[in-house]
Amino acid sequence: MKALVITDGALNLEERPTPEPAADQVVIEVAGAGVNRADLLQLKGGYAAPPGWPEDVPGLEFSGIVAARGPGCRWIGDGDHVFGIAGGGAHATHLLVPEGLCAPAPDGLDLVSAGGIPEVFVTAFDALVKQAHLKLGERVLIHGAGSGVGTAAVQIVRAVGATSVGTARTPAKLERARELGLDAGVTASDDMAAAIGEVDVVLDLVGGDYLSIDTAVCRPRGRILLVGLLAGAEARLDMGTVLRKRLTVIGTVLRSRPEHEKAAAVADFGRSVVPLLTDGKLRPVIERVVPLDRAEEAYGFVRSNSTFGKVVLSAQV
C-alpha cells in the first residue's frame, strides 16, 4: 500500500506494508478521503493522532471497498462499499479501521466523493441534533457557512425544519450557501449582531471574537456550539448575558473522543443522515477531487480558505 507520510513537516507518498485485520477490524481499499483542517494542523506538528492510530499519516475520513476483515466483524462483508471516520491514516491507499467506524455507502453516491462526507456530516449532525437538540421552527446561526461543516450544517438545518443565517468571508460563498438552503447571509461588518438578528442555536466554526456575537444574538436558553477556532482560541465571555439568558456553551470535537463514542456518532450518522443522502435530501458539497500523489496541492486549497465545501483526495494512484 501507499501512504501519505509526514516527515519533518513535509508530505511524502511512501510504500508501507498493507495491514492485516484482527478482531473487529477491517481493511478498506480507500476510494476517497477528505482533507480537513486537522490534517493541516497535524502537518505543522500541532495535532497528534490519538493512541492506536498511525502517528505520521493524516486523514480522518474515508470511503472505499472492504478488502479484508477480522473474525470478529458482525455485519460488514468483503467488497462492501462503506464510508466512515478514522483517528488518522486515511490519506493512503489502504486503511485499517474498526467495523464500528464504518457505515454502508449508498449506491447512488459517487464513491470517491463520498470520502468527503463523513467528517462534516457526522460533526454537523452530532452538534446540531444530538447536542444542541435543534428543533423544528428554530433559527440557527452558522459562522463559516461556506466551510465543509458549514455546508453540511445548512442542509441539516433545513432538513430539521429550522431556518438558518450564515456568515462567510465573501458574498460569493453566501450565494452558493443559499443554493443549499441558507435562508439569510451576513458578511463581516461593523454591526454583525444587528444584521444577524435573534437565533436559538449557534454553530461557531470560527471562534475568536465571534463569541461575543454569539452571546449577543442568542435568545433565552440559546445553545452555542464551539466547533472550530480558526479566528482564535481565547475570547472574552460575557457571563452576565450567559446567566441572564440561561445560555449553554458547548465545546465539541470528534477526533479525540474515545472509540465507543465515535462508533455511537457513526451509528447515528448511518441511521439518520445516510437515508437523507440516499434520497438526495442532503448532498455532499465537493469543491474538487485531487489525486493522492498531488496531496500538497489539495492541502494548499484547504489552507487558502477559498474553497467552498470539501477537498477530497482520490486514492487510486
Residue 234 Cβ vs a second copy, minimum distance, rounded to whole Å: 6
Between 92 and 225, name the residue whose CB sits nearer to a second copy. 225
Residue placing its CB nearer to a second copy in the complex, 89 or 207: 207
Nearer to a second copy, 101 or 229 (CB): 229
DSSP symbols for 196-207: H--EEEEEESS-
Closer CB to a second copy, 143 or 173, in the complex: 143
Question: How far apart are alpha carbons 7 and 57 in whole angstroms?
Answer: 10
Minimum CB distance to a second copy smaller for 74 or for 236: 236
Total residues found in the chain within this entry: 317
Nearer to a second copy, 252 or 278 (CB): 252
Strand partners, 61: 85
Pinpoint the alpha helices (H) of 161-229: 171-180, 192-196, 210-217
Shortest reach from residue 56's CB to a second copy, in Å: 21
Q: Which of 194, 248, 236, 188 is nearest to 212 (CA)?
A: 236
Task: Name 25's bridge partners.
Answer: 98
Least distance in angstroms from the C-beta of 37 to a second copy: 12
What does 66-99 look like in DSSP terms, one character per residue? EEEE-TT-SS--TT-EEEEE-SS--SBSEEEEEG
Give the binding site for a second copy (CB under 8 A): 207, 211, 226-227, 229, 232-253, 256-257
Q: Is 210 helix (H, G, I), strand (E, B) or coil?
A: helix
| Least CB distance to a second copy at residue 245 (A) | 7
Q: Check: CB of residue 52 under 8 Å from CB of residue 73.
A: no
CB of 252 to a second copy, least distance (A): 6
**Smallest distance, a second copy to C-beta of residue 248, A:** 5
CB of 99 to a second copy, least distance (A): 25
Contact 168, 145 (CB under 8 A): yes
Cell match 447512488: residue? 108
Residue in the structure block whose three cell numbers are 501519505: 4
Pairing of strands 310-314, 25-34: antiparallel
Residue 163 or 248: the one with the smaller Cβ distance to a second copy is 248
All three cell numbers of 283, joined, read 448532498
